[in-house]
Each structure stands twice: as structure tokens, then as C-alpha cells.
Chain A
Amino acid sequence: MPGVSSRLAAYSQVVLFFGAFLLFWEYGVRYFEVKSYILPPISAIAVAVWEARSEIFENSMYTLAEVLIGFGAAVVVGVMLGMVVYVSPFAQRTIYPLVTALQTTPKSALAPLMIVWFGYGFISKVAMAFLFAFFPIVVATLGGFAGTAKNLEEHFRALNAGPWRTFTTLRLPSALPSFIDGCRVAMPLAMIGAIIGELVGSERGLGNLIMLGTASTRTDLVFGCIIVITLISLALYALIEFAAKSVWWRGIQV
């Protein structure tokens, strides 16, 4: 079975690389006598995470909820707006340029405003996650609908297909691959939005924990939070990748 052995080789390369990286980190900081509030050894970070595990878990769930709700709202509103802009020339002339202009605004600059509007709690972070995830989803949805093959549209016209039938049978499935691409971009952005919101002003969440860790020079805890945030982002991205598998006709031209 040559397939298995070559996969094993690829797998062991990955393990070796990351093993070497972690070892270098662990012994590098000791060898170069890096101060632990600058860069703690990886073992110290692991210990810090383990000791604060219940705190990290609770705050993770809080941040995860912000991200998922913000992302979900971005999908719902983004898809609806993408559809409206697609079907309405009026919206295409008015709303779409506005959306494009807003897209260029640095969303992180809006964080203080969100806190003024929605307070220090949960809602302002959901709003931040939403703002970050929203634009890529609108653009991708619109691109997906606009990319419907012209010959297929004509084919549906020749069959006297009504607008609803054309939408559900043709436009929706042909827009799905592009929409999924939008989600791929939007999901990590939603996490970034929520964390920025928490850093600017919050009472809970992993961003809040980072602020507390920084204030008390607990760099090990800060690193622990960063690693946990990265792992959650990776898991969410994997979820999107999994969903993308059901849209297998992406890139297939017949």
C-alpha cells in the first residue's frame, strides 16, 4: 500500500516540524535567557492554561457565543442584502455603493462607538463580529448570483420557468460556492471583530482575559489565551470547510 506509507511520511514530517518548533521555543528562551514576562517557555504556558482551565473555558464559551451570533447575523443580513442588491437596480445604484464605501472603513475604529451604543456587555461584541463578517458575505453572495451562467438563464427562459423556480433551481445553487467562499473569509474575521471589541472594553471573554493578564504581567496566561483563540478559529474554519464539502460543484464547469 504505497498510499498509506506516503501519507505516513507526510504526517511524520508535520509532527517532526512542530515538535522541533516547540522544542526550540522551550529551550531557546532558556538558552537565551529571555525574561518570562516577554516570552515564557511553552511549558509554563501549558501550566498556566491548565491552572486557569475553568476560567479559560467559561470565557471561551462567552467569546464563541459572540462570534457565532455575530457571524450568523452577518450571514442572514448579508445574504438578504446581496439578494436585494441583485434583484433591484435601485438598490444596486444606491445601497451597493454605500456598502462598498463602508467596507473600506477600518472596522476596528468602530469598536469604541459600538461600546457607546451597546454597552460593555455581550451585544457590542456581537455587533463587532457582525461588522467584520458582514461585508465579505454581501460581496460573495452578490458575486455568486451575478455569476449565474447566461446560457443556463436562457435555458430556463426557454422553459418558461417562473422567477421563484429559476431562483431555487438555478440561481441559489450556482451562488452557493461563492457564498461559501465568503463564509471562509468571514468566519475568522468575526473572531477578530469580537476580540477587538473585548480588548476595547468588556467584562468577560478571552479578550478581556488577555487584558487582565497584561495588567498583571501574566504573559503566560496571555499566550495561553492567544493559543486558545487560534484553536477556536481553526475549529470554526474547519466547520466551514466541512460545510463546503456539500457544495462540491464549486469550480466544475460542464
Chain B
Amino acid sequence: MVSTASAAAPQSVNVADMGLKMTAEPAANHIEARGLNKTFGSFKALEDIDFEIRNQEFVSVLGPSGCGKSTLLRIVAGLIPYESGSATIKGEAVRAPRPDVGVVFQTNNMLPWLTVRRNVELGARIRNMPAGARDAAVDKILDVLSLTKFADAHPHQLSGGMRQRASIGQALVLDPQILLMDEPFGALDALTRDKLNVELLRIWQESRKTVMLITHSIAEAVFLSDRVLVMADRPGKIVEEVTIDLPRPRNAATTRAMPKFGEYVAYLGKVMGVAN
């Protein structure tokens, strides 16, 4: 019953014009947290979190393991409650998962008994997208992620990198305006991770979604983001905000070779070292 109700929500997005939306920008920040606190029992996970992510902005949250960055993402995603302060999406308080927000988790969420195609279209089915639009959206996503050849394979037949790509496809199929990514490449080897960073960048440059990326990789954060929020742990709080002033469109070869890229990486490394 819940799924029917959410499908009727006004945020349902037409997938056909993915990346071509010409609507006026809403006044409110896409993602905003003010004075956000979260505790698990006596453990203070998040303290006084303040940040905002504007429409079409790519922001990374960088921090060591266990600093509460995943908790922050789950609060923004509407998956867990928070105690005090506020978390809003487009100016509306977050109470439950929303159809205009896609979430990619660190563990790929493939159902082993479904083919790649059926896995990618899962969200569209659950949100009752009409079959025609759904098929078009899935075809497009599989193409964008170079998974068309593997559409009829099952997840266990794919490599870890391909499974994670398909996981991103699961979130993209609904063409959400906002994409929350919780260390999506954390379980991959460095080479695959670099490749997927480039792919994510390409997809983002084409469709310009608002992205909140949780990561513990400094290079990944610098390469992809407009801004980087650095978190420290015990309790988790934001200790530094760095605007990444590297020209766009970025690409693997030139951007990573820029002196400024190295400077940002060094600076963030220092901040992380000091903060923790």
C-alpha cells in the first residue's frame, strides 16, 4: 500500500527528459541540515551538524571510518530518525525516503535471483512506473553504464565493479534529482574505483543531479566535488569546508595532473590528519 501512495507523490520524475529539465530552480537548498544531533543510546554519533547542498551541486563528505558520515546520509535519506535540529530536502523536513532521492549504498543491492535488467528496473517497478517508460529508462541506463551486454546476466556472473555500476543504475533508473551515495566504491580495488569515478563524473556532467557523496578517499572527493565537507569523529561533526575550484568539465588525465589538484589533496590530507 505504501508503494502506491508514494508513486502518486508529486515528485515523480519523467525519465524521458533526463538531464534536460528546464524548470525554474527552487529557492530552497536541495539538502540542508541545521543543528542536527543524533545519538545511539549514550553514544553521540553526530553533533551540531550544519551544512547545505544547493541544486545540482556535487558535495562530498570526507571522514575516517566510524565518524558518523554514513549515519548522516541515512538521516538525509529518511532511513533513520534524528533527535534534534533539522534535516530538510527542498525545504521539507525529512521523515521518510522520498521518490526524488536515489540512494546508492556501499554494498551493492543486487537481488541474486534477478537478472541485471530486472535488478536495475526494481525501483521503477516498486514505484509503479508505467511499463513503457520503465523499459525506455532501463535501456537508457544500461547503455549509459555500458551494461547492455550483461542485461540478461545474473549478478554473481559480474565483477564487483560491474555490480556496483548496476547498483548505481538501480538509483538512476528513477531519474532522481538528488543522489545520495554512501561510499559506493569503498569495496572496490583502486583501479576499478578510479574508472568508476570517471564514469560517475561523466554521468553527473550529463545529468547534473544534486549529489551527496560519502567517502574516505581524498582523491575521489577532490576529483568529483564542487565542495568537500570534512568530518571528525567522536562525536561526528563537520570541521572544515573546502571549495574545490577546479575547472569543469573535468577529466581523468588533465584534472588529476593539475598542480591545484595535488594542493587540494595535500591540504585535505593535512586537515584530516589534524582533525583526527
Q: Mark B119-145, 1 if CB is under 8 A from A, else 0.
A: 000110111000000000000000000
CA distance A156 to B109 in the complex (A): 9
Q: Which of A160, A162, A252 has the most CB of B within 10 A?
A: A160
Interface residues of A in 147-195 (CB under 8 A from B): 151-152, 154-165, 169-170, 173
A21 interface residue (CB < 8 Å to B): no
CA distance A176 to B180 in the complex (A): 32
Q: Closest approach, in angstroms, between the C-beta of A248 and any C-beta of chain B?
A: 8
Q: Would A151 and B3 count as touching, CB distance under 8 A?
A: no
Q: Would A161 and B126 count as touching, CB distance under 8 A?
A: yes
Q: Mark B93-107, 1 if CB is under 8 A from A, else 0.
A: 000111100010101
Closest residue of A by beta carbon distance from B101: A158
A253 interface residue (CB < 8 Å to B): yes
Q: Would B112 and A249 count as touching, CB distance under 8 A?
A: yes
A101 interface residue (CB < 8 Å to B): no
Q: Closest approach, in angstroms, between the C-beta of A195 and any C-beta of chain B?
A: 37
B40 interface residue (CB < 8 Å to A): no
B108 interface residue (CB < 8 Å to A): yes
Q: Would B105 and A160 count as touching, CB distance under 8 A?
A: no
Q: Would A152 and B109 count as touching, CB distance under 8 A?
A: yes
B254 interface residue (CB < 8 Å to A): no
A254 interface residue (CB < 8 Å to B): yes
Q: Would B79 and A154 count as touching, CB distance under 8 A?
A: yes
Q: Would B113 and A160 count as touching, CB distance under 8 A?
A: no
B44 interface residue (CB < 8 Å to A): no
B155 interface residue (CB < 8 Å to A): yes
Interface residues of B in 34-55 (CB under 8 A from A): none
Checking B79, B98, B155 against A157 with a beta-carbon cut-off of 8 angstroms, the contacting residue is: B79
Q: Would B2 and A160 count as touching, CB distance under 8 A?
A: yes
Using Cβ atoms and an 8 Å threshold, which residues of chain B touch A158? 77-79, 97, 103
Q: Would A155 and B112 count as touching, CB distance under 8 A?
A: no
Q: Would B3 and A155 count as touching, CB distance under 8 A?
A: no
CA distance A156 to B155 in the complex (A): 18
Using Cβ atoms and an 8 Å threshold, which residues of chain A touch B4? 162
Closest residue of A by beta carbon distance from B160: A254
12 contacts between A and B (CB under 8 A): A157-B97, A158-B77, A158-B78, A158-B103, A159-B97, A159-B122, A159-B126, A160-B96, A161-B3, A164-B1, A252-B156, A254-B112
Chain B residues close to A by CB (< 8 Å)? 1-4, 6, 77-79, 96-99, 103, 105, 107-113, 122-123, 125-127, 154-156, 163, 170
Chain A residues close to B by CB (< 8 Å)? 151-152, 154-165, 169-170, 173, 249, 252-254
What are the nearest 4 A-B pairs in CB distance? Answer: A155-B109, A162-B2, A160-B6, A254-B155
Given contacts A160-B2, A163-B2, 13 further A-B contacts (CB under 8 A): A154-B79, A155-B103, A159-B3, A159-B122, A159-B127, A161-B126, A162-B4, A163-B1, A169-B125, A249-B156, A252-B112, A254-B110, A254-B156
